[in-house]
Amino acid sequence: MISNPDRDPSSSAINASFRNHFLASVPRPVLEKLEAQLIRVDLPAGTMLLHSDREIQWLYFLERGMASVSSLDRAGAPVEVGVIGREGIVGFQSLLGQPLTHTSAIMQGSGEGYRLRADALREYTPQDADVTRLLHTFLHALLEQTTQLVLCNRLHELEARLARWLLTACDFMGTRAIHLTQEFLAEMLGVGRPAVTLAAGVLQRNGYISYSRGLVEVADPAKLEQVTCDCYGIIRNSYKRLYPTLY
């Protein structure tokens, strides 16, 4: 399952000019009040969208790319606990009345989208049923993803987890080629770099991926899917059910 970044976010999209599902589906009267405050932004790889334990001032609506949501371990190293793409909002905690979060969010690869001051949308969350429904759908998808990742990281071998991560990244980013370093990937998977090097080497020798100078390319998604655990399919099917024309 590779998503198409040029596909309309929803067949019933109200605001077809947006590729972010949330913005594309917000009721037109609400969007008209927000449009003047939306700021188009380029989001290079490594851009921090959300800082741990800092007040959330901005919401980000991705139109291309993927944000990795991380929490810190005892040593202060980030470990990925979820990813957000074109379906939702980075900084959603503010819409729940929580100005602080212990998680951070960083761009995986380059992307683009819009940012909006958090308080601009917050007033519509409890008042507009459609906005609330969109937020609940996104939160449900993210919760199911995060819950599955907890199980995956606890039970499954690194090679399967690496395959799952690469396939999920391809789905969310709409590409088979992903720019990332082994150090970054090790942080996301919560392991040391030597372990990632060994696991990536196995996948590359079997022809599932190619890796060179910070570029990982999934050569054969179908074969790579045979290596991964059931968690990839569970997460994928959840998002396909909730966002059938997006992922």
> Could you tell me where the beta strands, DSSP code E, fall in the chain?
39-43, 48-50, 58-72, 78-84, 104-117, 177-179, 209-212, 215-218
Q: What is the pTM of this model?
A: 0.89
| Tens digits of residue pLDDT in 22-72 | 999 999 999 999 999 999 999 999 999 999 999 999 999 999 999 999 987
What mean pLDDT comes out for the span 78-87? 91
pLDDT at 16: 77
Decide if pLDDT at 157 tops 60: yes
Q: What angle do CA 121, 126, 129 make, to 5 degrees?
A: 95
Decide if pLDDT at 112 tops 90: yes
pLDDT at 170: 92
- The residue whose two tokens read 């683009």 is 112
Q: How far apart are CA 53 and CA 46, in angstroms?
A: 19
Q: Which of 59, 68, 71, 62 is nearest to 96 (CA)?
A: 59
Alpha-carbon separation of residue 23 from 20, 36, 39, 131 (angstroms): 6, 13, 13, 10
pLDDT at 7: 41
- The residue whose two tokens read 């969208």 is 49
- Report residue 110: phi and psi, to 5°: -80, 150
Q: Write the DSSP symbol of residue 70.
A: E
Q: CB–CB of 92/135 below 8 Å?
A: yes
